[in-house]
Chains A and B, each alone.
Chain A
Amino acid sequence: EPEVTQTPSHQVTQMGQEVILRCVPISNHLYFYWYRQILGQKVEFLVSFYNNEISEKSEIFDDQFSVERPDGSNFTLKIRSTKLEDSAMYFCASSERQGNTNEKLFFGSGTQLSVL
């Protein structure tokens, strides 16, 4: 089965530093997503991306966050100035289409971000 690939698997950074989390969605997919899971809490939606623009974002996704599809294969999440509370597992996901009852959302294995 095709996979969504995320790198790195673990990222440690100092508070205030910028981090970029990288994802390679499945090649024929058109819709891309970031979710995060703070330890012991729910998996939370951050943002969805289609046709090179954000299609929906949550209240968590403030000005410190940005997403980009720089080269047609990678899908990145940037946090400009990390805070302690940004420590979480970040999941990338992709789907081929949206609104189709047979559609399936594929998740990557996650990047564990630790902000010190």
Chain B
Amino acid sequence: AQSVTQLGSHVSVSEGALVLLRCNYSSSVPPYLFWYVQYPNQGLQLLLKYTSAATLVKGINGFEAEFKKSETSFHLTKPSAHMSDAAEYFCAVSGVGYQKVTFGTGTKLQVIP
């Protein structure tokens, strides 16, 4: 069984500040891990994914995440927040393949001018 826990349902940062969205996973098999973003009135868009290659994964829009097995974490970061980053972010996990992806509860990111 696999699950992810996202710490913080709402996060506010100032424009230009560091973005850190936390995700911890639980998996009985080596996981695939994902971050998705959902802008208002839009579908889920893949930001980045970890599939057992490099532990530091770079995604779109300047986001990156680091897989830390010892901490069972996959936190999402961006050095400098932009107003357009305001959205809801979902951490997700699956086993090999994409048959079933299990999502976290989501974190809404607010960027303050």
Contact = CB atoms under 8 A, between A and B. Distances in A.
Interface of A: 4, 6, 31, 35, 41-45, 48, 55-56, 58, 91, 93, 95, 98-101, 103-105, 107-110
Interface residues of B, number: 24
- State the majority secondary structure of interface residues on B: loop
Interface of B: 32, 36, 41-46, 51-53, 90, 92, 96-106
Contacts of A45: 100-102
Given A56-B99, A56-B100, A58-B100, 20 more contacts: A41-B105, A42-B103, A42-B104, A42-B106, A43-B90, A43-B106, A45-B101, A45-B102, A48-B100, A98-B99, A99-B96, A99-B98, A100-B97, A103-B98, A104-B46, A105-B46, A105-B98, A107-B36, A107-B44, A109-B43
Contacts of B103: 35, 42-44
A110 B90 CA distance: 16
B98 A31 contact: yes
23 contacts: A35-B103, A41-B105, A42-B102, A42-B104, A42-B105, A43-B44, A43-B92, A45-B101, A45-B102, A48-B99, A48-B100, A56-B99, A58-B100, A91-B44, A98-B98, A98-B99, A99-B96, A99-B97, A101-B32, A105-B101, A107-B36, A107-B43, A110-B43
* Residue from A31, A41, A56, A101 having most chain B Cβ neighbours under 10 A: A101
A65 to B, nearest CB: 16
A98 B51 CA distance: 13
Given A42-B103, A44-B103, A101-B51, A95 B98 contact: yes
